[in-house]
Amino acid sequence: MYPNWQTDFFRGVANDMWRYVTAGEMTRVESDFLANTLNIHESYNLLDVPCGNGRLAIELAKRGCRVTGIDQSEEYIAEAREASASLPATWILGDMRQLPWRAEFDGAFCFGNSFGYLNARDARGFLAAVAHALKDGARFIIDTGMAAESILPNRQKARWFKLGDLYMLSENEYHPREGRMDIQYTFIRHGTAETRPSSSYVLTTREICEMHGEAGLEPVELLESLNGEPYQLGSQRLIVVSTKRSV
């Protein structure tokens, strides 16, 4: 187990890897999905948590929304601020589990697999914090590849990727009792190798939906892709669309 691994992971070569993964049309396609599913209008106030380098929030801000992004990577927050100097965007260096807002946002989203970084206790706390930050009736979207029905049927213990001038080896070990997958990433570029550890938690879709309900978020759709196909066993990603219940 690698506690608090996120503190040192998201910098330098690991951030470059994610930039390669999200290059091209991916940002536009995901932003279109978010805009349509969150029913955004120009007056909307949106929360991106965690926001990474702000690629999605910045695209939505260009469409007229006010956006707030929170992330604990100093490198990413600095990048987001530089890229959005003329946009209605606020960037906060902080922990996704600690959200101070109450009934502030018209919509929120958590993309990029970050939900899987949370154990069951922290996941419940995160969802409760998001629910408190949303206005009644607002929508929240989670995108994750770590649902049990996704990751376990398709699990490979080791995989190689080539991303631009970067090679990456992903090696994992699954611990059934803890529902945790420990992953070692080895990055190789220009003959230099660097290994960084990470951990993700595997929850069933039922558990994820129950956690939403406990937080006051009602799941309304379970999707496997941005095209709207319903989620099923073996789907590579789970997209949960929920609505903040009125109290």
* 140/41 same-domain check: yes
* 92/112 same-domain check: yes
Q: What is the pLDDT of residues 142-158, one digit of tens each?
A: 999 999 999 999 899 99
Q: Which of 47, 136, 46 is nearest to 99 (CA)?
A: 47
- How confident is the model at residue 82, as a pLDDT? 96
Q: What is the pLDDT of residues 77-94, one digit of tens each?
A: 999 999 999 999 999 999
Q: Number of folded domains in the chain?
A: 2
Q: Which CATH number goes with the domain that contains 183?
A: 2.20.25
Contact assessment for residue 65 and residue 88, using Cβ atoms and an 8 Å cutoff = yes
* 238/142 same-domain check: yes
- How confident is the model at residue 11, as a pLDDT? 87
Compute the average pLDDT of residues 165-185: 95
Residue 15 lies in a domain: yes
* 175/229 same-domain check: no
* 38/83 same-domain check: yes
* 196/208 same-domain check: no
Q: Which residues contact 86 (CB under 8 A, 6 or more apart)?
A: none
CA distances for 142 relative to 116, 153, 242, angstroms: 10, 21, 9
- How confident is the model at residue 1, as a pLDDT? 62
Q: Which CATH number goes with the domain that contains 210?
A: 3.40.50.150
Residue 83 has phi, psi (to 5 degrees) of: -80, -10
- How confident is the model at residue 55, as a pLDDT? 94
Domain that holds residue 12: 6-146+203-244
Compute the average pLDDT of residues 99-121: 95
Structure tokens at 145: 């590849």
pTM: 0.93
What's the CA gap between 193 and 113, in Å, rounded? 24
Instruction: Decide if pLDDT at 4 tops 80.
Output: no
Q: What is the pLDDT of residues 198-240, one digit of tens each?
A: 999 999 999 999 999 999 999 999 999 999 999 999 999 999 9
Residue 164 lies in a domain: yes
* 55/119 same-domain check: yes
Residue 177 lies in a domain: yes
* 113/164 same-domain check: no
Mean pLDDT for the chain overall: 94
What's the CA gap between 244 and 212, in Å, rounded? 9
Q: What is the pLDDT of residues 26-84, one digit of tens each?
A: 999 999 999 999 999 888 999 999 999 999 999 999 999 999 999 999 999 999 999 99
Structure tokens at 232: 């099923």
Q: Which of 87, 82, 39, 31 is nearest to 59 (CA)?
A: 31
Residue 43 lies in a domain: yes
Alpha carbons within 13 angstroms on the beta-carbon side of residue 201 total 18
- How confident is the model at residue 18, as a pLDDT? 85
* 87/179 same-domain check: no
Helix/strand/coil for 69: strand
Residue 1 lies in a domain: no
Task: List b or e across 77-113, with b for residues whose CB sees 16 or more CB atoms inside 10 angstroms.
Answer: bebbbeebeebebbbeeebbbebebeebbbbbbbbbe
